[in-house]
Amino acid sequence: MRLKVLNELKDESLATAAAQKIAEVFGLETVVEAAKLTQPEQAYDSLRRQYNAAILLIQLEPRPELLLLLTERDIYVPGLNFVFGYAPGKAGVVSIYRLDPIRTEGHADPKLLLQRTVKEAVHETGHLLGLRHCTMPGCVMTFSNSVLEVDSKNDTPCERCMSKVTFLRLR
Ligand SMILES: [Zn+2]
Ligand SMILES: [Zn+2]
């Protein structure tokens, strides 16, 4: 199974690191490509000044392989103030907007940004493969609503989640 990382980030090394970790964790073949969104403004809500994640993803489908968009756009899904990521089907998105230490800590921290981005990319890929949220402390599939929660989890799924991925992929 192949996963295409569609990169909108200025710093491509984040996408490369995420793709490597996804390949290592899930055994997927990964490639990084520059993202070309035809009409991202269709997803923009000018009152919220955020992008609707579901509408952004519509522009990526349909494709045969799994897709993960990495973006700096601030994203939301209706009912939530924001999300770090969203992956309802075969295509998902991770936004670094609220993961970036420039905003959360008030100063740049490339290493911390990389760790957070990798964790959320692995998390959304878990959803693409059919995993749901997990309650095991430290599991990358736990739901994160704050960067504190992102920072306190690992960049890999727990054993139970990994065994489910193996099962889901065999179906
Ligand atoms: Zn999730
Ligand atoms: Zn788990």
Residue ranges per domain, the chain? 2-170
Q: Enter the tokens of residue 5.
A: 């990382």
pLDDT confidence band for 49 (50 / 70 / 90) = very high
Question: Minimum-distance ligand to the CA of 124?
Answer: 1
What pLDDT does residue 11 have?
93
CATH number for the domain formed by residue range(s) 2-170: 3.40.390.10
**Catalytic residue from among 41, 124, 149, 159:** 124
For 115-170, what is each residue's pLDDT tens digit? 999 999 999 999 999 999 999 999 999 999 999 999 999 999 999 999 999 777 66
Q: Does 124 participate in catalysis according to the annotation?
A: yes
144 vs 94: CA distance, rounded Å: 13
* Interior/surface letters 89-101, b for 16+ CB within 10 angstroms, e for the rest: ebbbbbbbbbbbb
Question: Minimum-distance ligand to the CA of 122?
Answer: 1
Measured in Å, residue 132 CA sits from the centre of ligand 2 at 9
Measured in Å, residue 120 CA sits from the centre of ligand 2 at 14
Residue 77 has a CB neighbour count (10 Å cut-off) of 15
